[in-house]
């Protein structure tokens, strides 16, 4: 499955204000909840999981991929891209503060491994974040994701 097929333009949010990590997670996932692809219980599961196990979804410096259990309320697979106006601490000393959130939900644990592999490639690409930082809307971000997929397929 292509990563770009999981990202609706409405799921790309730029310059979001968040008061803390919980607020950041809720706001980053809000477009997916509004679209009906995530139930609000899924977002609650993400937050309670982090409260119980720590910020397991902070992947690298400045980047988090909030996700929970598929059965907690994912109706269809989706990925969001959210740039916070100001970074917030998630409680991961090595990677705080977090500016970019990539809320992810899958309907089962294994169906979207290809998409996650592509996502790992993207988050290791500084130009991806530069594109997010300079974008005024979703268009250049989605174009970058599609171009990265094409390059990956040709490799």
Say which residue the tokens 């100001």 belong to.
86
Q: Are 77 and 67 in contact (CB under 8 A)?
A: no
Task: List the catalytic residue out of 26, 27, 67, 112.
Answer: 67
Question: Is 67 labeled as catalytic in the residue annotation?
Answer: yes
DSSP string, 49-101: HHHHH-STTEEETTEE-----GGGTBSS-EE-EEEEEEEE--S-TTTPSEEEE
Phi, psi of 3 (to 5 degrees): -60, -40
DSSP letter (8 states) at residue 96: P
Structure tokens belonging to residue 148: 């990265």
Catalytic residue annotation: 67
């Amino acid at each position: 499955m292509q990563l770009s097929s999981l990202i609706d333009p409405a799921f790309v949010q730029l310059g979001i204000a968040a008061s803390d990590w919980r607020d950041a997670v809720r706001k980053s996932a809000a477009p997916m909840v509004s679209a009906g692809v995530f139930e609000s219980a899924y977002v609650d599961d993400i937050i309670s999981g982090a409260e119980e196990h720590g910020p397991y979804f902070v992947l690298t410096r400045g980047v988090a991929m909030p996700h929970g259990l598929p059965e907690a309320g994912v109706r269809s697979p989706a990925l969001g891209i959210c740039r916070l106006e100001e970074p917030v601490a998630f409680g991961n000393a090595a990677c705080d503060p977090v500016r970019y959130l990539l809320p992810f939900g899958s309907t089962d644990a294994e169906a979207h491994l290809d998409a996650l592999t592509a996502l790992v490639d993207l988050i290791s690409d500084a130009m991806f974040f530069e594109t997010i930082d300079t974008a005024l809307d979703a268009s250049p971000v989605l174009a970058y994701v599609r171009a990265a997929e094409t390059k990956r397929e040709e490799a």
